[in-house]
Amino acid sequence: MLTRIEIDGFKSFRRFSLDIPPFLVIIGRNAAGKSNLFDAVQFLSRLAGDPVLEAAQHMRGDVADLFHRPTEGPPVDEMSFAAEVLLGRSVTDAFGDTAEVNHSRLRYELTIQLRATGHGGTQRPYVVQEAVRRIRRADDTWMQSRTPDQRKRLATYRSGADPLETEEDDAGRPVFSIRQQGNQGRKRRLPATSATATVLSSLTTATDFPLLYALKRELQSWRLLHLDPSALRAPDSYDDPDSLSANGGHLANTLRRLVDETATSDRPEGFLNDLSADLAAVIPGVIRVRLSEDEARRQRQIMVLTRDEAPFSARVASDGTLRAIALLAALYDPRGAGLICFEEPENGIFPQRLAQFVRYLRNLVDRALNTPSDGAALTQLILSSHSPAILRALDPAQAKKRPDAVFMDVVSRVQRGHAPSRVSRWRAIAGAQQLTLDDALDVATMVSPSEIAEFEVQAELGT
């Protein structure tokens, strides 16, 4: 679970930081930086497994476009990130080895530099700083805001040295120093002068560096669902993967696997009964989702049953119906547990049903967070929207500011010694509790109900 992110020098971000709860809605106008924030999350996720250049090439734009560009002058040549995470109690690698995670709160820091190489103005990104630091119990303000039961069940702390640092060797050259857990602090060193990949991406097993490998797997679990209707509608071969792709592909096989994993004699369709009930509450007329098996062709596809019509396949289902099925499936799936970023959940959902849909999504996130099982897989959901209607789908905020939603926009920033920039920022959204004179600073940086109302009018008018 991602609990805090800091970004500096990536796209529209300069000195940006945001604490992230298990469920968060980000609203703002187009070009406010919401998609850039999701890009930063996706970039960090890819860097845990891919070389820097390959990870950058999966982003929108050229490599140089990822670096912040001031309104005057050339782009910056460095970007840095920090991510604070909550890990599970154990991690299993691709070879089936499982290692205990004895410290579940880590802070990951990374700096990437763009350098000119060769001829013709070629530029390449290099890792120049990478560190993993233990978050101590006394300093863990995010976990302190959780309930006592959640703190006891979810977080474990163990004293010790930080697992990864960037330092200098005896010759003054930068090196990445990795500490082996339980080995008297002995270090493994890797050169950091021309690193084209992160240290995390080089780890392949859980046994030597359990904390670092658990962090790698956590970052790799972060997903941006950018659902493509054509991928959602496509039937699956029996030999296709059975996990949901980022574009929504293999939804039918994912549902089949989840049914097989949850079916009982009393509930032969397992979780599909729950998903159908959730979907019926937000899509008018839908009563059930089921799977159609074509044994001869070795294919399966999704079927939707309604009150007034014969069952119809995913090929003719609405985009909104398929998007809702895919997002619910992702949240139900233990294999897909982790951070899920999803844009514009209101698309294809009747406005009067949106509140019910968001409530179901939030309940699925809370289910794992509040379960009494220590081994429960945690799921986190960040929704982004340019429609203020999503706020009406959230429960009323009784506090001074909303804990589950923020507002993003772009502002001009001028700092001594730096070129002026247009940067993304976030602001808290005022809740129902009355603010006092002591809250003057918060009032100045908080989005008021009147500003939200103005934003809502402009959204309705399309301005």
pLDDT at 325: 93
Signed CA dihedral, 65, 70, 74, 78: sign only: negative
| Residue 460 clears pLDDT 90, i.e. is over it | no
Residue 205 in this model has a pLDDT that exceeds 70? yes
Tokens of 37: 């924030």
Q: Which residue has the higher pLDDT, 440 or 444?
A: 444
Top-ranked range on mean pLDDT: pick from 301-305, 352-356, 367-371: 301-305
Give the tens place of pLDDT for each residue, 314-355: 888 888 889 999 999 998 888 767 899 999 888 878 777 888
Higher-confidence residue: 19 or 447?
19
Angle, alpha carbons 203-40-424 (nearest 5°): 155
185 has a pLDDT exceeding 50:
yes
pLDDT at 2 over 70: yes
Q: Structure pTM? A: 0.90
pLDDT digits (tens, 9 = 90+) for 30-39: 889 999 999 9
Most confident of 39-48, 89-98, 173-182: 39-48
Query: Checking phi first, is residue 307 left (phi over 0); if not, alpha (psi -120 to 50) or beta?
Result: alpha
Phi-psi region of 270 (alpha: psi -120 to 50; beta: other; left: phi over 0): left
pLDDT band at 121 (very low <50, low <70, confident <90, very high): confident
Say which residue, 434 or 28, is predicted with more confidence: 28
Q: How confident is the model at residue 446 (pLDDT cuts 50, 70, 90)?
A: confident
Helix (H, G, I), strand (E, B) or coil at 442: helix
**Is a pLDDT exceeding 70 seen at residue 376?**
no
Mean pLDDT of 285-308: 91
Percent of the chain with pLDDT over 70: 90
In this prediction, residue 374 carries a pLDDT of 47
Residue 218 · residue 85 · CB < 8 Å = yes
Q: How confident is the model at residue 417 (pLDDT cuts 50, 70, 90)?
A: low
What are the φ and ψ backbone dihedral angles of 357, each rounded to 5 degrees? Answer: -65, -50
77, with CB counted inside 10 A (0-12, 13-18, 19+), is middle
Residue 442 backbone phi and psi in degrees, to 5: -65, -40
Least confident of 84-88, 234-238, 443-447, 448-452: 443-447
More confidently predicted of 109 and 413: 109
User: For residues 232 and 326, what is the distance between their CA atoms, to the nearest angstrom?
Assistant: 8
Which three-class secondary structure state does DSSP give residue 156? coil
Helix/strand/coil percent split, the chain, to 5: 30, 30, 40
pLDDT score of 435: 61
In this prediction, residue 254 has a pLDDT band, given cuts at 50, 70 and 90, of very high
Q: Which residues touch 318 (CB under 8 Å, ≥6 apart)?
A: 348
Percent of the chain with pLDDT over 90: 57
- Over the chain, what is the mean pLDDT? 88
**Once rounded to an integer, what is the mean pLDDT over residues 365-373?**
76
- Report residue 401's pLDDT band, with 50, 70 and 90 as the boundaries: confident
Domains of the chain, earliest start first: 2-222+395-461 (no CATH), 224-381 (3.40.50)
pLDDT (tens digit per residue) in 154-174: 899 998 899 999 999 888 899
Residue-level pLDDT at 54: 96
- pLDDT recorded at residue 73: 81
Dihedral angle computed from the Cα positions of residues 25, 49, 163 and 187, in that order, rounded to the nearest 10 degrees = -170
Mean pLDDT of 361-371: 83
Whether the per-residue pLDDT at 375 is higher than 60: the answer is no
pLDDT digits (tens, 9 = 90+) for 61-119: 789 999 999 988 888 999 999 999 999 888 999 999 999 999 999 999 999 999 988 77
